[in-house]
Structure 1
Amino acid sequence: ERLALQALDRADRLGVAGYVLGIARELTGDFAGSMRCYEAALKLLPNHGAVAGDLGRLAFRMDMPEIAAKFFMHYLQARPGDLEGVNNLACALRDLNRCEDAIEVLRPAINEHPAQPLLWNTLGTIMCSLGDGVTAVTFFDETLRLAPEFGKAYHNRAYAKIDLGDVEGALTDCELAISVAESAEDLATMKFGRATILLALGRVAEGWKEYEGRFSADLLEAPRFTIEGERWSPGMDLASKSLMICAEQGLGDEVMFANMLPDVIEALGPQGKLSIAVERRLVPLFQRSFPQITVTPHRTVSYEGRVYRGAPEIEDWSAIDLWTPMGTLLETFRPTVASFPNRLNFLVADPARVEHWRRELENAPTGPKVGLLWKSLKLNGERARQFSPFMLWRPVFETPGVTFVNLQYGDCSEEIALAREEFGVDIWQPPGIDLKQDLDDVAALCCAMDLIVGFSNATTNLGGACGAPIWMLTGASSWTRLGAQTYPWYPQTRCFITSDYNDWDPTMQKVGVALKARFPMA
């Protein structure tokens, strides 16, 4: 880095020096600075394929697949047919849910270079994104035949096996991956993967212990907490302490992990104090649910390729003895499935707004009101496979006498039109509510439903936490079930479990039959 800076001091338009500086800064973890150097170098060296390739690789590493794809295309213009470039472009297209395009990019390369394990591995990941675990395993098998110590292939095959319900096989593969990991980042990723596999197996205490790996400094996406004070760890006494909890992960996890807050309050005792930082949209709901604790919004920012989370509205930290990320408490308070209480709800929807929505629902067509959720806003290639194609909801929509209510946030116009045209069903749209932003009101709306049917997303979790009746559609080895056939976080939940992400039809048929039985000739 020092030599590159010296060269740029003497000749600021020396593209090669800027490129070297970008490499050096990436190696030190300064991803934003590295990106700026690469971009400046590419302007000076527009025909230098390696610069475009590194820009694409870094953008992909920073979870920017659309930008990455453009740079990989630039790279391939300079180096047509380059195997690394082809593979990288296919990975970016996969993460943009352009799986067919990704396959077409790989096809000629595999035909010409059938002994290249990297290509078979990427093809396997595309099959996983498409929900075709069986074919994915075949491609990972071929990868490992060609390269028996290819750690990422073992790791990827583990996830394909999870999709197929072979959790023990997934654990074996994950441990093999760990034994031959090629980098610290790969090792951290694999160890965290092992934690979720242990949870899926029902080895809950072990799983939560290893779940702490989500904070590894070697994980690019791991959050860094900008919080002062001593950090609590399992085994430390909480009695009479002042504890601050920072919620973490996605919004659904913030809600789900709050399952243990009543137990944390009890452990602190009458002399203890609890503060919690949650997503800003959740503050009113948590304040109502836990009037004895201090609720504040957390703030999350991205800086130089890293994610930082803090609680800036807490001004006086001197009164706080300990703080902890919320998930760290799970090892102590939820070490087994049996340790989950049979508690109908732990969050409390606004009673006045629940009554408001019951009155509003009287304006909908007659019959039981069934809220529907069919997707998540975060649908990259890996997550998309966990959701049934909308056309497979036909058995549900064929239930007579039921009024279906849209609880799905985001743009749903295409699906609502499809339901009308293909199934003859008008999905009722609740008036005057933003289903993505008005989370306190969403919780109340959920509690006004006769039933909610859907996949695990933010709204399903809100409804479950507030005690609404939930039918959860889930995969064979979803780790959040903790190895159970039920959903421990929300005991009123009924699970409909698919054995194969590539074939949701049998599961959706079962949901349709169950719905007709739940509301016979409604």
Structure 2
Amino acid sequence: MARKSALETSASALPHQVEAGAVAVHRGTIASAVGDSTSAEALARLQRAAQETKNAEHAKALSRAVQAVHLRDYPKADKLALKLLEKDERLGLAWHILAITREKQGDFASSLGAYEAALRLLPDHGPVAGDLGRLAFRMNMPEIAMKFFAHYRLARPDDVEGANNLACALRELNRESEAIEVLKGALTAHPEAAILWNTLGTVLCNTGDAAGSIVFFDEALRLAPDFGKAYHNRAFAKLDMGDVEGSLADCELAMKLPDSAEDLAMMRFAQATILLALGRVAEGWEAYEARFSPALSHAPLFQIPGTRWSGQDLRGKTLMISTEQGLGDEVMFAGLLPEILDALGPDGSLSLAVERRLIPLFKRAFPTVEVTAHRTVSLEGRVYRSAPEIEDWERFDYWAAIGDFLPSLRPTVASFPDRDRYLTADPERVAHWKAELAKLGPAPKVGLLWKSLKLDAERGRQFSPFEAWRPVLETPGVTFVNLQYGDCEAEIAYARETFGVEIWQPPGIDLKQDLDDVAALCVAVDLTIGFSNATINLAGACGAAIWMITGAAAWTRLGTDRYPWYPQTRCFIASQYGDWTDAMQEVGGALAALAAER
């Protein structure tokens, strides 16, 4: 058997189903892989290849299949391609047509297999590589997509589509400088290509340069005044700069000019978070339902039977709730649970599905609630959430995603309760950590959080470079405690070598997996400082003192200068993403004052 090419190996690596963990829906820029396997150019190319097929009978059948694709009769094209492959399984063009029809019908798994076969058999890999790259990108696999797009560009170095798609994949891999080089070369040859200016803007936005990105979105809109994506992306940049009203205006323009159902769904979700950032809470929650739009490829699809709750009286009912979004959101939205239990009353009952690591913490806080684990799976480009440990679904009157209760229970900022906590850290573990911390001396113990585990191109800009922590870390009279999960050895070594500061590593705890113990440690320290991530939400929910560093228009502040979800929070607000200097100086000054008082 011949050895597989690198391209074929990449295609084989595309997973059909993977455990997705906690998946959050984030407002983001829109600049994705472009092109269509059924475009006029692509179909003309397929038709030429069909006509050049030496076997006249095969050529006729292939032409009919291409015509069926042109008419969007994908089932017919599928059948014609399969009949041909029954006669000759080495007919590469038939495999390519089959791959296209399966992709268009949403059967990504068999589409991938068909594309792999086409790669093995067709002499011209370029078109197949482009199609496969777009499918991989759609399935949130930018590393693999990048390889296919790079191959596509070898065959078509001057192609706008190829440059755009490769730059998009590089951006998602946080390889922004390479993406910029690709786009600069393409724009030299095609300065009229609005799509390239738009993608260049998204690359800059992801580096935190919102002001710089607006220049490129403006140019894209000058060239193409009806370019909805560019309006959306300019709204994104304006929000990062704290211009929330301007952001909403651009978002509403974008919603009039979507290129696809998915674009419109992203725009609607962005509108929801912008309204919330403006403090228009009731309107924001109404629009927030967009997070579950079927057109949004990364929105979770709940595999839960029964009737979804839609405002019915819950007194005496049996209710199943699944938490939603990422791990931090699961904890943050759990503040609704005390009121939900009140609504159910003593004769009602609640079953709750949470991320498995949260089960001990939730069981302790809500002893009358049945707490199980949800399961989140990524399958063929979509995310599915279920509650596999629940067997008897007939016992529930309703099910709900926990965010369904936001419009009724949190319609205004004033409706957020001024409670000290709603989750309870393990008292024994709190005492253990207090004893360990006492061994470090009398100075205040300050936990630090500086990043999220998922620092993709979209989320990475929401966190400062570690160097920006200098004013905080050089504060005298403070003992710093590492609460940051994930790989952070480099940052801890940098603090030691550059700032002369030792960040204490708590022994015997996995800061990513042992969330019940993490919550206890957050309560044991005197203060936790950081950006919004899963751990700081655990600290806030358990009533620990937190100082949160946020961007100018973080929607979770709901248009205030505080954090309504955790009333004990003190917020330090940057003027815009990418410029953390003043906020960090303010944190450093406040910490020095706190240390002096102690």
Cα distance in 2 between the residues matched to 1:155 and 1:38: 33
Deviation for aligned residue 1:366: 4.1
The equivalent of 1:24 in structure 2 is 101
Q: 1:156 aligns with which of 233, 238, 261?
A: 233
Deviation for aligned residue 1:148: 0.6
**SS of the counterpart of 1:258?**
helix
Please say if 1:225 is aligned against 2:302: yes
Please say if 1:210 is aligned against 2:287: yes
In the TM superposition, what are the counterparts of 1:333-352 in structure 2 within 5 Å?
Answer: 333-352=409-428
The equivalent of 1:394 in structure 2 is 470
The equivalent of 2:431 in structure 1 is 355
The equivalent of 1:185 in structure 2 is 262
Q: Deviations over 1:246-268 (max 9, x none)?
A: 01111000000001100111111
Please say if 1:431 is aligned against 2:507: yes
* Conserved 8 A contact 2:140-2:381: no
Q: 1:91 aligns with which of 161, 168, 172?
A: 168
**SS of the counterpart of 1:230?**
coil
The equivalent of 1:81 in structure 2 is 158
* Conserved 8 A contact 1:30-1:305: no
Q: Which amino acid aligns with 1:109?
A: A
Deviation for aligned residue 1:461: 0.4
Q: 2:452 aligns with which of 376, 379, 382?
A: 376
Please say if 1:8 is aligned against 2:85: yes
**SS of the counterpart of 1:275?**
strand
Q: Which amino acid aligns with 1:307?
A: V
Please say if 1:442 is aligned against 2:518: yes
* Conserved 8 A contact 2:139-2:380: no
Cα distance in 2 between the residues matched to 1:352 and 1:338: 35
The equivalent of 1:129 in structure 2 is 206
Please say if 1:482 is aligned against 2:566: no
**SS of the counterpart of 1:419?**
helix
Deviation for aligned residue 1:11: 1.7
Kindly tell me: are residues 46 and 371 of structure 1, through their superposed partners in 2, closer, same or farther at Cα, counting changes over 3 Å?
Answer: farther
Deviation for aligned residue 1:481: 1.1
Q: 1:48 aligns with which of 115, 125, 130?
A: 125
* Conserved 8 A contact 1:364-1:428: no
Q: 2:344 aligns with which of 250, 268, 278?
A: 268
Kindly tell me: are residues 5 and 259 of structure 1, through their superposed partners in 2, closer, same or farther at Cα, counting changes over 3 Å?
Answer: same
Gap regions ≥5 residues in structure 1 = none
Kindly tell me: are residues 46 and 224 of structure 1, through their superposed partners in 2, closer, same or farther at Cα, counting changes over 3 Å?
Answer: farther
In the superposition, the TM-score normalised over structure 2's length comes to 0.86
**SS of the counterpart of 2:522?**
helix
**SS of the counterpart of 1:288?**
helix
Cα distance in 1 between the residues matched to 2:214 and 2:199: 12
* Conserved 8 A contact 1:366-1:401: no
Deviation for aligned residue 1:46: 5.4
Cα RMSD after superposing both structures: 1.2
In the TM superposition, what are the counterparts of 1:52-71 in structure 2 within 5 Å?
Answer: 52-71=129-148
Q: Deviations over 1:423-467 (max 9, x none)?
A: 000100000000000000000000001000000001000000000
Cα distance in 1 between the residues matched to 2:571 and 2:451: 17
Please say if 1:298 is aligned against 2:374: yes
Q: Which amino acid aligns with 1:426?
A: E
* Conserved 8 A contact 2:129-2:149: yes
* Conserved 8 A contact 1:301-1:309: yes
**SS of the counterpart of 2:324?**
coil
The equivalent of 2:191 in structure 1 is 114
* Conserved 8 A contact 1:354-1:444: yes
Q: Deviations over 1:54-98 (max 9, x none)?
A: 111111111111111111111111111211111111111111111
Q: 1:247 aligns with which of 318, 323, 328?
A: 323
Q: Percentage identity across aligned positions? A: 67
Q: Deviations over 1:99-145 (max 9, x none)?
A: 11111111111122111101100110011001011111111000000
Cα distance in 2 between the residues matched to 1:129 and 1:69: 18
**SS of the counterpart of 2:588?**
helix
Deviation for aligned residue 1:31: 2.4
Q: 2:544 aligns with which of 468, 483, 494?
A: 468
Q: Which amino acid aligns with 1:373?
A: L
Moved more, 297-306 or 269-278: 297-306
Gap regions ≥5 residues in structure 2 = 1-77
Q: Which runs of 4+ in 1 moved over 4 A?
A: none
**SS of the counterpart of 1:138?**
helix
Deviation for aligned residue 1:318: 2.1
Of structures 1 and 2, the larger Rg is shown by 2
Deviation for aligned residue 1:327: 1.0
**SS of the counterpart of 1:277?**
strand
The equivalent of 1:144 in structure 2 is 221
The count of corresponding residues between Structure 1 and Structure 2 is: 521
Cα distance in 1 between the residues matched to 2:284 and 2:94: 46
Q: Deviations over 1:302-349 (max 9, x none)?
A: 222221111111112222110001111111111111110001100000
The equivalent of 1:497 in structure 2 is 573
**SS of the counterpart of 2:480?**
strand
Q: Which amino acid aligns with 1:67?
A: I
**SS of the counterpart of 2:431?**
helix
